[in-house]
Amino acid sequence: MLEIKNLHARIAEDGTEILRGIDLVVKPGEVHAIMGPNGSGKSTLSYILAGKDDYEVTEGDIVYNGQSLLELAPDERAAAGVFLAFQYPIEIPGVATMTFLKTALNAQRKARGEEELSTPEFMKRVKDKAGELQITMDMLKRPLNVGFSGGEKKRAEILQMALLQPTLCVLDETDSGLDIDALKVVSDGVNRLRGPDRSFVVITHYQRLLDHIVPDVVHVLSKGRIVKTGGPDLALELEKNGYADFIDAAA
């Protein structure tokens, strides 16, 4: 279970305050959507969950399964089950996607004190998951994210998620840069991973992603605070009326 308690955070470099007291509880098996206008702090929240050191937490805590994430390095958080699907996945030149997947999976297994996966077993897992996401062997041989189209990058993110089997998945604007067909493939990939032991925090600007990944709870983030919480209908309301009402309410 994820509990965010009165979280305040600022940009480390210039001290600009971004998050101003966020409270959020995500139970196992739940999908929470976080929506909000540009600059409301959505992406910052995702980075802070994953532990990017560009930000400083000044107050509050993030507790995951009883442990404060703030004390853990990014790789330790990953081993504890936290996964961030990036809005802009990073290129790693010269490193075949397959190599990257294997290195990441084995690093996490090692951190958890598990045996490394044998190559045949690893290949089997990759092939199964890749097939579901319409990822070809050819793509797996290419360097990670280098020259990938927008859709390929997002599918590669979901493939990593499927392979690493995290328990807390944070999706940062996964729908950006996707056409309708790619959106469907990616959403199906996410939906396959839904289960009683896995929680999702889905950050999005638009409602359309939520047609495919139907959330249990929708939050509206504005100026670093959650200003409204509701069911899936809230997303539809936002789509119709825009964020203006909530921004005014928060002001």
Which residues contact another protein by CB under 8 A? 50-54, 73-75, 77-79, 83-84, 86, 89-95, 99-100, 103-105, 107-108, 111, 143, 160, 164
For residues 218 and 206, what is the distance between their CA atoms, to the nearest angstrom?
12
Closer residue to another protein, CB minimum distance, 64 or 86: 86
Closer residue to another protein, CB minimum distance, 35 or 79: 79
Closer residue to another protein, CB minimum distance, 47 or 246: 47
Look up tokens 């996607």; give the residue: 97
Min dist. Cβ of residue 10 to another protein (A): 18
Query: What is the sign of the dihedral through the CA atoms of 103, 108, 62 and 169?
Result: positive
Min dist. Cβ of residue 74 to another protein (A): 4
Q: Which one, of 32, 60, 26, 20, lies nearest residue 225 by Cα?
A: 20
Closer residue to another protein, CB minimum distance, 99 or 134: 99
43, 232, 242 from 245: Cα distances, Å:
22, 18, 7
Min dist. Cβ of residue 223 to another protein (A): 26
Min dist. Cβ of residue 109 to another protein (A): 9
Closer residue to another protein, CB minimum distance, 76 or 211: 76
Min dist. Cβ of residue 48 to another protein (A): 12
For residues 246 and 251, what is the distance between their CA atoms, to the nearest angstrom?
9
Using alpha carbons only, give the angle 70, 144, 161 rounded to the nearest 5 degrees.
50
Specify whether the CB–CB gap between 172 and 157 falls below 8 A: no
